[in-house]
């Protein structure tokens, strides 16, 4: 019986050329984030089904690849529903596992703990171009740091990395979930409708101010609330002045320290940054996940036409595991999108080594073969990649094929 050649639906085989870029990027990530004091950790790809379905994952919980119970635990004849059949699943993000990891290992970890995670996650999403059901996530998180020091470092580390990968002219949009709420409260929207308001507000960049107004009206919100709300967005500029406007305007419903901290984050990053980007205050930034509790951010890149990463503060998630809340703030970059952009650009890896091909005639005598291998060993020690192959009849084709793989030097060895 012939076996299946294609990967499973929605997942992909990674070819050598892409793999070279992926390896370079992961190496650079480790080096760059390492220089900021982040340490690598890993959690298993498989997670308890209870943790995955704990309402921390939002819509991702609908997309879990679930794993069948094994052996005696699987009681097929007694199973009434899906939940009876599974005990675990593939993780859909790295945040839920990090929270479990931290609560499991806190005694052995420094405080604050700066974690770097790179690992695959799986989501049974509808397959579509450029989106896969298995993809790499790359997260940095600072746990146990309640002040804006966390936000500043996360933004600096992330943007330094993007700068090293030759990304320029991008924007870090920043907002605070508490400003988001204060604006809705100030406008008189009922508290229980905030999420509905934010889902509509989130479409601002697609449907514009008028579109947002229309959808809010359709939801039946008071005209006065809508007018008050949208008038503010017209006033708020995308710089520190915008934050100051919020601080004054919302003084009755917003702790002024929140706006002051946001100002510090923006001004400090602007003063220290080494990469070519700007910080923008964006009061329309929502970020989907309900677990965010403070500042939130997102990277916008014209080149990509969308977000290539984001994050925020989620001070209440770890408490779900430990019972005690632990400050937490994280930033995730869109690893797959970055790799895709680099591939499209024809990115050349700066650290690429010289690739040399030895083509040797078939049935080389033993003593000559030994000489060739020794010579290769010597060259490898100097950092050259030496690939030894038997010379083919169609030598030109063989060389062309290797040239396409990046081989620039060819040495031929004959029996005599």
Torsion of CA 197, 200, 203, 204, to 10 degrees: -60
Taking CB under 8 A as the criterion, the residue among 214, 244, 278, 355 binding a second copy is 355
Assess 19 for contact with a second copy (CB under 8 A).
yes
The verdict on whether omega for the bond into residue 307 sits within 30 degrees of 0, i.e. cis, is: no
- Which residue, 34 or 230, is less far from a second copy as judged by CB? 34
Q: How far is the CB of 39 from a second copy (least distance, A)?
A: 4
Instruction: Pick the piece of the chain touching a second copy (CB under 8 A) from 207-215, 293-301, 337-345, 349-357.
Output: 349-357
Asked if residues 266 and 282 have their Cβ atoms less than 8 Å apart, the reply is no
Q: Is 292 annotated as a binding residue?
A: yes
Site pattern 23..52 for a second copy (x: CB under 8 A): x---x--x---xxxx-xxxxxxxxxx-xx-
CA within 13 Å, CB half, 114: 14
Q: How far is the CB of 40 from a second copy (least distance, A)?
A: 4
Asked if residues 413 and 358 have their Cβ atoms less than 8 Å apart, the reply is yes
DSSP string, 317-338: STHHHHSS---EEEEEE-HHHH
Assess 164 for contact with a second copy (CB under 8 A).
no
* Element housing 52 (H / E): helix 49-52
Instruction: Pick the piece of the chain touching a second copy (CB under 8 A) from 150-158, 199-207, 243-251, 290-298.
Output: 150-158
Of 119, 106, 114, which Cα lies nearest the Cα of 47?
Answer: 119
Taking CB under 8 A as the criterion, the residue among 131, 345, 374, 395 binding a second copy is 374
Residues 207-246 within binding reach of a second copy (CB under 8 A): none
Q: How far is the CB of 207 from a second copy (least distance, A)?
A: 30
3-class DSSP assignment, residue 160: helix
Torsion of CA 151, 157, 42, 350, to 10 degrees: 160
Assess 86 for contact with a second copy (CB under 8 A).
yes
- Which residue, 1 or 206, is less far from a second copy as judged by CB? 1
**Known binding-site residue numbers for L-histidine:** 93-95, 123, 137, 141, 287, 291-292
Q: Which residues are annotated as a binding site?
A: 93-95, 123, 137, 141, 287, 291-292
């Amino acid at each position: 019986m012939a076996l299946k050649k294609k990967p499973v639906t929605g997942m992909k085989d990674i070819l050598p050329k892409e793999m070279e870029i992926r390896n370079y990027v992961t190496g650079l990530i480790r080096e760059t984030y390492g220089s900021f004091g982040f340490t690598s950790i890993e959690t298993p790809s498989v997670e308890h089904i209870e943790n995955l379905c704990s309402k921390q994952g939002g819509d991702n919980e609908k997309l879990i690849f679930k794993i069948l119970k094994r052996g005696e635990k699987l009681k097929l004849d007694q199973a009434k529903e899906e939940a009876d059949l599974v005990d675990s699943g593939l993780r859909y993000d790295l945040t839920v596992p990090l929270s479990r990891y931290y609560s499991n290992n806190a005694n052995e970890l420094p405080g604050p703990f700066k974690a770097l995670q790179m690992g695959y996650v799986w989501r049974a999403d509808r397959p579509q171009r450029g989106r896969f059901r298995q993809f790499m996530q790359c997260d940095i998180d600072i746990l146990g740091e309640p002040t804006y020091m966390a936000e500043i470092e996360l933004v600096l580390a992330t943007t330094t990395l993007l700068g090293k990968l030759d990304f320029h002219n991008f924007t870090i949009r920043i907002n605070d979930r508490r400003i988001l709420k204060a604006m809705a409260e100030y406008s008189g929207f009922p508290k229980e409708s905030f999420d509905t308001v934010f889902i509509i507000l989130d479409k601002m960049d697609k449907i514009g101010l008028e579109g947002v107004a229309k959808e809010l009206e359709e939801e039946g919100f008071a005209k006065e609330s809508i007018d008050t709300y949208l008038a503010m967005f017209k006033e708020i500029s995308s710089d520190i002045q915008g934050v100051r406007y919020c601080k004054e305007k919302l003084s009755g419903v917003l702790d002024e320290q929140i706006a002051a901290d946001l100002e510090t984050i923006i001004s400090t990053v602007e003063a220290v940054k080494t990469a070519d980007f700007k910080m923008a205050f964006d009061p329309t930034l929502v970020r989907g996940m309900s677990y965010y509790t403070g500042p939130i951010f997102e990277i916008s890149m014209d080149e990509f036409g969308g977000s290539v990463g984001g994050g925020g503060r989620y001070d209440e998630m770890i408490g779900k595991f430990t019972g005690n809340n632990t400050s937490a703030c994280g930033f995730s970059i869109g690893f797959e999108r970055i790799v895709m952009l680099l591939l499209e650009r024809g990115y050349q890896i700066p650290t690429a080594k010289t690739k040399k091909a030895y083509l040797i005639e078939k049935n080389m005598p033993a003593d000559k073969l030994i000489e060739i291998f020794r010579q290769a060993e010597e060259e490898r020690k100097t950092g050259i990649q030496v690939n030894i192959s038997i010379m083919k009849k169609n030598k030109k084709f063989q060389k062309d094929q290797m040239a396409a793989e990046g081989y620039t030097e060819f040495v031929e060895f004959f029996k005599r």
